[in-house]
Structure 1
């Protein structure tokens, strides 16, 4: 059964520009002020109930087309989860599966036993220019920066250094008792040096100060190195989702 609290945390900490209810679906508009989209997470429609009709899907497709977005749905829980019937229906309508994602979680207290070296990682809001440059180099541009800026929950950014050189950046925000890390980016020359572990522990320490009890993050399943890191920290996969994007047919 899908743990909706995690998906509520995604929406709160990485919010769409606008949302609208279309029948049993929540439709997200991910465009920033320039019309650029902030990615699938803020552009996908998701099912609010378990019941739907083909006409509901058609209404969502029309709404997304009006926004200038490709028809796109989030399927929570994977092929065997809450949205299994929707997943099967969309596949039959010509939607392809894309970007399977794991949601990792761990108690905040499990990640705060070790304090990162003082100069290795900092919590900063608003992000520095160098952080924006690191994100941009990793494909996280103005549209995704706009997502961070419009979040109204407690939030901060992470900035790190290793041996006096910039190492990486990230963004973390809290919804209720859940802290969620997004947009972790480590410079290529600083990878496999331990900064990712420092960043996770610094994020957990900050989350603890905000009253959060659970640390979470999202990771695409084919990112082997990142999945290995999060597992090594004792985090467990507690949810899964993927997207269905229209590729033709009905």
Structure 2
């Protein structure tokens, strides 16, 4: 089975983690959101751009209360260089992973380890809050289109982890996977990812996908060990003001 390419995954990000406001402005897509999540606060170029086009996006983001932030995708080296020359610095280089759901649905997680829950429970919100995933990001989950769910993970009869997963097209994408500090490095993230794959398969999705920062020393080895394939990368450029 051919994996989805990086350009398809850009659309899956947008479909499963939507901005509060998205508008077309000249050659740009402008996203505005007060969650602090770069995925919903970055402008993208939808047509060739010149230096004369940059102030259009910068002004729109500042008017929306955001620092200028651009997502640099595959094939956008010219835009990357243009922003670098204007003093924009790289923020959060990201890896994009994908795997057929069938590769992860050979064996279910242990009983009473994972649960499909929608809407998320208060204890899940607490785990997210402790991990820096606040109300703004919960609002993103709330406005994402169905099908979607969360996975609650339990260890030692205690709530121990949570994630959000949504579907766009034939791809499910995991967001905001968080394990409580006291329960890390015990395999729960693996079980929750597999549970997300079973849920995705039941919804008719063919692939499980996700994005994680390249600097995440725990997540990247986990997803590789699950058989997920690195299908692309991107990064942001932000103007420090």
CA contact (8 A) 2:165 2:175 kept: yes
Q: TM-score, normalised by structure 1?
A: 0.93
What is the Cα deviation at residue 53 of structure 1? 1.5
Which residue of 11, 15, 28 corresponds with 1:12? 15
Runs of 4+ with deviation above 4 angstroms: none
- Give per-residue Cα distances to partners, 1:72-124, cap 9 Å, x unaligned: 000013xxxx1111000000011000100001110110111111012000010
What is the Cα deviation at residue 47 of structure 1? 1.2
Distance 1:234 1:173 in 2: 20
Change (3 A) 1:3 1:226: closer
Distance 1:24 1:242 in 2: 19
What is the Cα deviation at residue 24 of structure 1? 1.2
Distance 2:27 2:9 in 1: 19
- How many residue pairs are counted as aligned between the two chains? 237
Structure 1: tracts of 5 or more residues without a match: 32-36
Aligned to 1:57: 54
How do residues 43-192 of structure 1 correspond to structure 2 at under 5 angstroms?
43-49=41-47, 51-77=48-74, 82-192=75-185
Which residue of 19, 26, 30 corresponds with 2:33? 30
Distance 1:222 1:167 in 2: 23
- Give per-residue Cα distances to partners, 1:197-236, cap 9 Å, x unaligned: 1001100000001110010011101111111100000001
CA contact (8 A) 1:38 1:147 kept: no
Aligned to 1:235: 228
Distance 2:134 2:154 in 1: 21
Aligned: 1:224 with 2:217: yes
